[in-house]
Amino acid sequence: MNTVDYLRISLLDRCNFRCTYCVPEGTTLPYVLPTHLLTAAELLLLLDEVFAPLGLTCFRLTGGEPLLRPDVVEIVRAIAQRPYTRDLAMTTNGFFLAEKAKALYEAGLRRINISLDSLQPEVFDQIIGNRGRSRWQQVWQGIQVAHQLGFDPLKINVVIIPGVNDTEVLDLAALTLEQNWHVRFIEFMPIGNQDLFVDRGWVSSESLRQQIRDRWGLVDSTVQGNGPADVFQIPGAKGTLGFISQMSECFCDRCNRVRLSADGWLRPCLLNETGQIDLKMALREGVPLTDLRHQVQTLLHMKPEINFKARASGTSGSYSRTMSQIGG
């Protein structure tokens, strides 16, 4: 089991998109009230006094959509300036990125993942649940701005859904040929979208890799990330291709992360809430920080037995939130 040094931090559970694999049509989500969100001061206190002393020094800011949070730039700056921060990244849908990328970069953010599930505006709008003016161009502009500013690596996240965007695999992979971009294909998971999953099924990473091999060839990449992706490269390409294979190729044995929800719950696994801790409530009730550190340390020691694999096999754990509510 890897050392747990990576904390995914959800800044809020709201999003301006309603992607079908995250929030199925007709779903009403009970969003967290603003007063129930971790404040920036509470988050930084937990980082300083609980997480960093336990060796968690790599952080990723997520949502919902993190750029909807008004103080996101200030949070980025504060974390980036912490002496213990070894790595800071963000995952965003990119809609607000063109206007906020410069401020984020100046605040110290260098690594960013942007969701882009299709290169076809009409398919993109279908996936994100948009029925008005197309939002694809604004996301694409955000990607271009981030690239021009020098975000490195700049990663593009793609969830492949059979019958929706599975014909675009080669076009998306081709983004890595001339740009130092990292395209990451993510297997579709049944989280809060059971009906769609049953209807559509999922495409394995290996079948995607085979398509790319047949077109260009594929080799192992010397560039490896800090997460679960298996990284490859088209021969001669400037960028890389990552495959996150949580459905077909369980990676629990090399998972190095835990998750902090927007309302302050620390969870050991994406699909398993066993042992979760309500850190926000504990802070507000005045529980000593040494006690919180001990509780988190206990959870980290439990993590090898609290994982996606155990949940998927039905042997332990429970799960109640959608992907947008937990931070993906």
What's the confidence (pLDDT) of residue 309?
47
What's the confidence (pLDDT) of residue 276?
92
What's the confidence (pLDDT) of residue 319?
44
Whether 176 is in a domain gets the answer yes
Q: What is the pLDDT along the chain (328 residues), one digit of tens a residue?
A: 578 999 999 999 999 998 888 876 777 777 888 999 999 999 999 999 999 999 999 999 999 999 999 999 999 999 999 999 999 999 999 999 999 999 999 999 999 999 999 999 999 999 999 888 899 999 999 999 999 999 998 999 999 999 999 999 999 999 999 999 999 999 887 665 555 555 556 789 999 999 999 999 999 988 766 667 899 999 999 999 999 887 777 767 778 899 999 999 999 987 777 789 999 999 999 999 999 999 999 999 888 776 554 444 443 334 455 555 556 5
Identity of residue 151: F
Whether 252 is in a domain gets the answer yes
The pTM assigned to this predicted structure is: 0.90
Total domains in the fold of the chain: 1
Whether 1 is in a domain gets the answer no
User: How does DSSP assign 159-199, residue by residue?
Assistant: EE-TTTTGGGHHHHHTHHHHS-EEEEEEE---SS-HHHHHH
Whether 156 is in a domain gets the answer yes
Which single residue is written with the structure tokens 């649940």? 129
SS3 6: strand
The domain in which residue 277 lies consists of 6-326
Whether 41 is in a domain gets the answer yes
Task: Supply the CATH number for residue 122's domain.
Answer: 3.20.20.70
Judged by phi (left if over 0) then psi (alpha if -120 to 50, else beta), residue 71 lies in alpha
What's the confidence (pLDDT) of residue 246?
76
Whether 208 is in a domain gets the answer yes
Whether 48 is in a domain gets the answer yes
- Tell me the CB-side half-sphere exposure of residue 30, using CA atoms within 13 A: 4
Whether 145 is in a domain gets the answer yes
What's the confidence (pLDDT) of residue 143?
98
